[in-house]
Amino acid sequence: MPSRWDPAMRVALDQAAAAAGHGDVPVGAVLLDPAGELIAAAGNEREQTGDPTAHAEILALRRAAAALGHRPDAWRLDGCTLVVTLEPCTMCAGALVLARIGQLVFGAYDPKAGAVASLWDVVRDRRLNHRVEVMGGILADECGAVLKDFFGDRR
């Protein structure tokens, strides 16, 4: 059954495909404003840039903050939604909390490094000063297949 998040996840899948095109793990992310309009999009760029923090989620957050201008609180992404093809890792989950993201929507679960549901639940930890609403499994089979195909081709 289609969800309201499918169109945004399809844009994230396009970003993932672009990342694979330059040798990066195919993960894509889009950031939506509170009205659901696209603010930023990114795919992984670690291999392309040599930057270990160039995960799709981090890049989308950076681009969104830049798009909002140089106001003092541009880093606060209150009410925004991050849509990403793979469950975020601990670095990205922590960044979502620090950016005050309102909602996270992800595709495939990551049993090896997932920090939102699979291994940890960083974004909803009551000890932190902000908690993110989470919805997982959106187009999960399609998101997972992109990763399986990518790694299968490398073996």
Q: Which residues are annotated as a binding site for Zn(2+)?
A: 55, 89, 92
Q: Among residues 37, 45, 57, 133, which one is catalytic? A: 57
Could you give the CA distance from residue 58 to residue 45 in angstroms, rounded to a whole number? 10
Given a contact cutoff of 8 angstroms between Cβ atoms, the answer to whether 87 and 136 are in contact is yes
Given a contact cutoff of 8 angstroms between Cβ atoms, the answer to whether 67 and 40 are in contact is yes
Q: Active site includes 142?
A: no
Given a contact cutoff of 8 angstroms between Cβ atoms, the answer to whether 80 and 59 are in contact is no
Could you give the CA distance from residue 126 to residue 36 in angstroms, rounded to a whole number? 27
Q: Which residues are annotated as a binding site?
A: 55, 89, 92
Backbone angles phi, psi at 74, to 5 degrees: -60, -25
* Helices 56-67/90-98 angle, 10° precision: 20
Active site residues: 57
